Each structure stands twice: as C-alpha cells, then as structure tokens.
Structure 1
C-alpha cells in the first residue's frame, strides 16, 4: 500500500473504529445504569445536591465575610433542611391520605353520577367499569411504602453528601495527582468546572420557576380549601423539574381531588383553567426557552432525554434527565472524537468552550 493510499484510508478507519467503540461503550453503560439503579440513583442525587450546596456556600462566602468552612456548613444546612421539609410533607401527608382513602371511595361514586350530564353515559360507563374496581387499599400501601422510602433515601443521600463535602478541598489536589501531568489535570478540571456551572444555571432557572408556580398554585389550593394543599404544592414544585409533561401532571392530581371533594364543579374548573393555563405557558414556552438559553441544549434532546432516563430509572430518571444529559453533552464537547455529537446535541451548534479563543485574542 502506498503512503497516499494509507493516508486517505486512515480517516475512514478512524471514524469506523470510533463508531464501533462508542456503540459498545454506550451499550455497556446503558446496561450498567439499568442494573445498578438502586445504587446509582441515590449517588447521583447526592452529587446533584452537592453541586447545589457548593453553589450556595460559594455565594454565601462571596456576600459575607464568614470563613469557608462556616459557609459550607450554612449551605449544607439550608439545602438539606429544604429537602427534609419537602420529603416530610410528602411522607406525612401521604400517610394521612392513605388513612382517609376509604372516604374517597364512597365519594367517587357520587362524583361519577354528578359528571354524567357533562360527559355522557358512555364515558360514565367507561369510568365505572375501569376505575371503580381499583383496589384503593393497594394504593394506600404503595403511598405508605413510598413515604418510608423517601425518608430512607434522604438519610442515605445526606450521608453521601457529608462525605463529599468533607473531601471537597482535597478532591482537586487528588485529581491533579491522578492525572499525571498538568495539562491532563487542567483538562479534567475544565470539564468539572463546565459541568458545575451548567448544573448551577439549570437548577437556578428551574428552582425559580418551580417556586413561583408552586406558590401561585398553593394560593389557589388554599383559597379553594383543597385537602392536602401542601402536598399538591410540593408536587407542583417537584414535577416542574420534569420537562414539558411535568407541568401537566401537576394539574391533573389536584383537579381530580377537587372533583371528588367538592359537590360543585367550580373548584375543578378553577384549577384546570387557572393553574392549568399557568402551567401550560410555563411548561411549554417559558421553561424550554430559558432552559435552552441557559444550557444551550436542543429542546428535542430534552424530550428525548426525558424518555430515555425515565425508561432506565423510572420517575427519578425523569427528574434527573436534564442534569444527566447536560453532563454527557459537556464531556462529549471535550473529547475530539465525540465533539460532533455534542454539536448535534446543542441548541445552536455552538459549544461553551468556543468563546475562549476569541476572548483570549
């Protein structure tokens, strides 16, 4: 083979080998994620919580004269206390809901009869045949089990976070030593910095939007006198972290409870039309726009990531779909062979590190 032939065939061989290697690695990674979900989900959530704590402690340290260790303690306290309050509300009210669920069984028949005039006899017959036979006691056991699982996960995540924060200062030093040479260590540090910055932007945007939406929804629930209003407000806050469909689901549950709880259909319409309109606008227009602008990630990729991570890790995967995909996009952007994939995953084809040469010049 002549040198010219060798030089012309090398790029093709390289591309085929990259495709082959990426396919094999991706298959093994997906299988590992699915098989190790019980171990990986709490660890992933702990890493995300750790990013939140670092962002908050850095902000506290920048705004106040307190020492670094005290800012870290404040960040840990605020974030973990907020998570505990959320899980406590869900856990305690889930238990209360499970205890009173028998009352909803009797009210459900009355509700079905009430809505007959609105939806027709055919739909009413379908509801009776498919929903009346639901074992509500089984649902109650699931709720109690979920509440216990939430608290168990919280303590495990807190344990992980404690050790991660304890090794925060030593981690970068260990990373430089493990890299072997300064350039490789700098590359690893750049990847971690990019991931941290993007996750902080994402969590900031989502938290602000979710707090506003949950606050408005809670006000509506309290004015209507909806039972378990705190639970539906917390679920509204949490479900808004699920792209697009989360905002829709956040309206379905309280509206159904309103339909069963109240004899009038007005509260149901208020929640569906009022909260539903707010959720629809935020979930389908404002949220994707701010999400794409802050992370430069394709909106189609957001939906694709939602389906993928939900398939792999269930409901928790839906919450973590965007942060995990952002990490993958950033890692791909720093690997030359995978950079084309990162460009396709981005919103406008521009990656975050492309502005560095211009600024340096």
Structure 2
C-alpha cells in the first residue's frame, strides 16, 4: 500500500512540475512582453504603498481627518518623485551632450591612479577602462530617468485612482471571494504585503535620503559638477541591493578624476562616501529594517539579476519589493509554502508575515 501511494504521488508530481514550468515560463514571457504597461503600473502600486505609509503616519502625529492625511501623502510623495525625475531629466541631456568632451580627459585621468597600484591592475585599467564608451554608459544610465519622467503623468493617474478606490477595493475582494474564508485569507495576504512594503519603502527612503544628503554635501564642498545629479542618483541607486551603493560612489569618483587635476577629490569621494555607504549598508540599514523582510541574501542577488534581465535598470530598483510580494504570497499558499521557506533567510515564515518586526 505504501509503495502504491508513493507511485501515485510520483505520477501526480510530474504533471504538477510540468504545469509549474509552463506557467512560470509564460509568466516570464508576459513580464518581458508587457514591460511597457507593467512597469508604470508596478511603480504606481509601490508609490501608492508609500503614500499610505505617509498618510498613516500623518494621522498618527496630527490626528487629522483621513482625507486630509491622504491628500498630504499624495502631495508629499508625488512632489518628491517629480523633483527627483526633473533633476535627472533636466541634467541628463546636458550631461550626455558634454560627455564627449570628457573622454580624452577621462583617459588621462585613469592614468593618474596607475602609479598607485601594481602592474596587474595597471594593465587591467589600460585594457578595459580606457576603452569604455562613456557616451553609451551615460545614455544607458540616464535614459531610463528621462523615460520615467515622460511617464510621470501616467503614474500619477494610476496613483490617483488607486487612492480613490483604496477602501472600496478591499470590500470588492471580500465580495468576489468564493467563500468568507478565502476572502479573509486574501485580506490577510494583502495586509501582510502592505505592512512589509510600507516598512521597506519607508525605511529605505529615509536611509537613501540621508545617504544622498550627506554625499551631496561632500560633492558641493568639493565643487563637483552635476552635484545635484549625483546626489539624486545616490538616493535612487541605494534601492538597488548590493551593487547600487558601489555604483553611487564610482560614477562621481570618476567624474572627479576628469574635472580636477588633483587626485585628492577622488580619494575623498572613494574613501569618504565609500565609508558612509559601507556603514549605512552594513549597520544602519540592517538595524532599521531588522529581519522584517526575512529574505535570503542569495535570493536578493538572484532577484536583482532576474528583474534586471526582464525589466532593465527599472527592474533592478524594483527587485526587492517585487520579491517581497512573491515571498509573502507563496507563504500563504499551502502548495507553495515550501518554496517560500527556501526563499526566506532562516526558514521561519511566522503565522503572519505582516506582523514580523
């Protein structure tokens, strides 16, 4: 009897694995093919979560009516996003237009630091870094910001309608569920996702803003060109796990080599801003986020690679929030709970992911 049960389970598992692979493949293809529609919608959903977090905090502090708090949250968040996109968009064209004049200076600047390193590193610099097409790098890095600025109106419309249907949508989910139990489960999943995303986006925004302000102060003191752009990019790049903070230091450091005859500004940015990024990334960030996300470190890197491949640089910024949503959904589906355990940091999902501190 036991052998028959094992054979039955084996037969059942093969179709399940096949169907899972088919669904997964179709989902990836849909994400890639529908990126032009899904990216603004996803950004709008995350902005909506941030607005709700600001609105709830506003109510807790001022005890104002909910509609006033919602209006304040919309104004604060959308105004902040517009300022970020405007700075990037307005300086992107100027930066790309002038970067051709920097290429010869960049070649000479790279040679300044070859005397500080060994022969192997010098050979690597000469063979690789000097051959970099800075125009292509600049257009790839800043082109997404300009495109996002053009889509700001669409994102704002999505956010407005999401806020207008915030309470009605929850009621519609309950009414559309086949049973009250399923409706309660869906509400639990939505609450868990909302709490986790609010905590992540809120804390990450504060930490990124703090890092950007300090870095911007350093850039201004040094007299670095496009200091506003590098400050905004520092804020944005800190949302990319692991490599974002490194890129946020490398770009302004390279520009300082081009702009200044002395190597001192380069060293100040590398060691000063680099130390700041290291301290915040390894101490302040984990202390404030704690274990609320409970995501495997390997999963974070894997998610970064996957979403960057599917959605480009925007996918890199969205990789952690999107993976958090997937992890929470999997943890509430019995058939997918083992996958959620593998995705977690220590295998502990808890009864309610939204209540984890």
Check if 1:282 corresponds to 2:291: no
Aligned to 2:294: 296
Aligned to 1:51: 49
Displacement of 1:181: 2.1
Unaligned 5+ runs, structure 1: 357-361
Aligned to 1:236: 234
Question: Contact 1:112–1:127 (CA<8 Å) still a contact in 2?
Answer: yes
What is the distance in 1 between the residues matched to 2:348 and 2:107? 56
Change in Cα spacing, 1:355 to 1:223, as seen in structure 2 (3 Å) is closer
346-355 vs 262-271, which moves further: 346-355
TM-score, normalisation: structure 2: 0.89
Question: Contact 2:192–2:353 (CA<8 Å) still a contact in 1?
Answer: no
Aligned to 2:260: 262
Change in Cα spacing, 1:140 to 1:17, as seen in structure 2 (3 Å) is closer
Q: Deviations over 1:82-108 (max 9, x none)?
A: 000111111112233234334424533
Aligned to 2:158: 160
Q: Secondary structure at the match of 1:294?
A: coil
Change in Cα spacing, 1:333 to 1:207, as seen in structure 2 (3 Å) is same
Aligned to 2:246: 248
Question: Contact 2:295–2:345 (CA<8 Å) still a contact in 1?
Answer: yes
Question: Contact 1:213–1:279 (CA<8 Å) still a contact in 2?
Answer: yes
65-74 vs 283-292, which moves further: 283-292
Question: Contact 1:245–1:283 (CA<8 Å) still a contact in 2?
Answer: no
Displacement of 1:63: 2.6
What is the distance in 2 between the residues matched to 1:5 and 1:36? 46
283-292 vs 89-98, which moves further: 283-292
Indicate the structure whose relative CO is greater, using CA pairs within 8 Å and at least 6 residues apart: 2
Displacement of 1:197: 0.6
What is the distance in 2 between the residues matched to 1:244 and 1:355? 24
154-163 vs 260-269, which moves further: 154-163
Question: Contact 2:144–2:314 (CA<8 Å) still a contact in 1?
Answer: no
Question: Contact 2:92–2:146 (CA<8 Å) still a contact in 1?
Answer: no
TM-score, normalisation: structure 1: 0.88
1:1-361 equivalent positions in 2, closer than 5 A: 9-112=7-110, 114-115=112-113, 117-118=115-116, 146=144, 148-284=146-282, 286-287=284-285, 291=289, 293-353=291-351
Question: Contact 2:197–2:321 (CA<8 Å) still a contact in 1?
Answer: yes
Question: Contact 1:112–1:124 (CA<8 Å) still a contact in 2?
Answer: no
Change in Cα spacing, 1:14 to 1:198, as seen in structure 2 (3 Å) is farther
Larger Rg: 1
Q: Deviations over 1:132-179 (max 9, x none)?
A: 676666667667855541311212211111111121121012111111
What is the distance in 1 between the residues matched to 2:139 and 2:74? 33
113-122 vs 314-323, which moves further: 113-122
Displacement of 1:333: 0.8
What is the distance in 2 between the residues matched to 1:303 and 1:139? 22
Change in Cα spacing, 1:67 to 1:84, as seen in structure 2 (3 Å) is same
Change in Cα spacing, 1:15 to 1:131, as seen in structure 2 (3 Å) is closer
Displacement of 1:119: 5.3
